[in-house]
Amino acid sequence: MNHAIARRKRELETYSAPPTIDPAELDAYWHAALKAFADKPPEVRRERAESPFQGVTVDRLTYTGFDDTPIHGWFMVPDTRRNADGARADAGRYPCVVTFPGYTDDRGYPERYASWLLLGYAVLAVDVRGQGGETGNAMALRSGAVKGWVSGNVLEPMDSYYHAITMDAVRAVEAAAAQPETDPSRLATVGASQGGGLALIAAALCPKVTAVVADIPNLCHMDFGVLHSSSSLTELAQYAKRYPDRLEAVLHAIAHYDLLNLAPRIAVPVLLSVGWKDPVCMPETIYAVYNRIAADKTIVDYPFGGHEVSEAQHRERILFLCARFR
């Protein structure tokens, strides 16, 4: 390995950052937050949609997220088991992939998930509230926010936008696990950027997740990101610029969602990717989290990669889940 690349690799492998919230406070917070939803089923509704693929069923799936906002998604199942006459046989249960989009994006069209379907996996692809998809946002703003979404109610952790999308992600996993086609012993969360952060945080908070693929994830080492990133965290930087007296309160609030603090709660196999030239989800932020995960973990470095998921990394995703779902 080139000396400069090897040196940078060593720097990242030894990069560490201290927790930004007391672990006891964090545990108490999430115990209360998750307990509040323990007896509230996600109230899943499914409606058949047109499928672009022969042999794949596509349903519009809706479930109730945080604050009862309806969260919309696709639930797609490969009909791989058929009788000799072509009729569908006993479907059995399939490994399931729950996917989350990047910031401002949406779940897109079913074609986006062809590789997972070809592998014989069911897929639940969901929107993130208020962003680019069909899903709205019922959360009321009780104070001013800067352009974007993430500063919404930021000083009220239990009622903030970050709290809402986190609980929406947890309930997406619960909705997927509840479907009769899903094998609950093989359920992975997958995403890139914002989606990668949500994939990780869902695994940290929901024991139904059995594997994670998080490419160039957000929600990592967020205080560092507020200072340096060109991502959605710039919205919090703008908020702190407007209200400098609120900076410490903002940093304390977002610490509840920072994977730097939640990483020790992840207990399932994890695949991460990182682009060393990424100005959005910088390598320091991702390695800070990776180095605190105690579970089986793999990270794939792209020294010349930016904020992107390369074709090579798509292959790594496939191989990782094939091994976990075998």
Q: What is the pLDDT of residues 101-155, one digit of tens each?
A: 999 999 999 999 999 999 999 999 999 999 999 999 999 998 888 999 999 999 9
* Separation of CA 111 from chain center: 20
Task: Quote the CA–CA distance of 315 and 235 in Å, as a whole number.
Answer: 33
Q: Name which of 36-40, 76-80, 136-140 the model is least confident about.
A: 76-80
pLDDT tops 90 at residue 213: yes
Whole-model pTM?
0.95
CA Rg, the chain, in Å? 19
pLDDT confidence band for 85 (50 / 70 / 90): very low
Domains annotated for the chain, with CATH where assigned, are 3-80+93-325 (3.40.50.1820)
Work out the mean pLDDT of the chain and round it to a whole number: 94
| Cα distances (angstroms) measured from residue 32 to each of 24, 37, 38, 158, 307 | 12, 9, 10, 10, 35
| Cα distances (angstroms) measured from residue 287 to each of 209, 262, 320 | 22, 14, 19
pLDDT value at position 323?
97
Q: What is the pLDDT of residues 152-185, one digit of tens each?
A: 999 998 999 999 999 999 999 999 999 999 999 9
Residues sharing a CB contact under 8 Å with residue 55, sequence separation 6 or more, in sequence order? 78, 79, 80, 82
DSSP state of 140: P
pLDDT value at position 80?
59
| Cα distances (angstroms) measured from residue 185 to each of 80, 85, 207, 266, 297 | 19, 31, 11, 16, 19
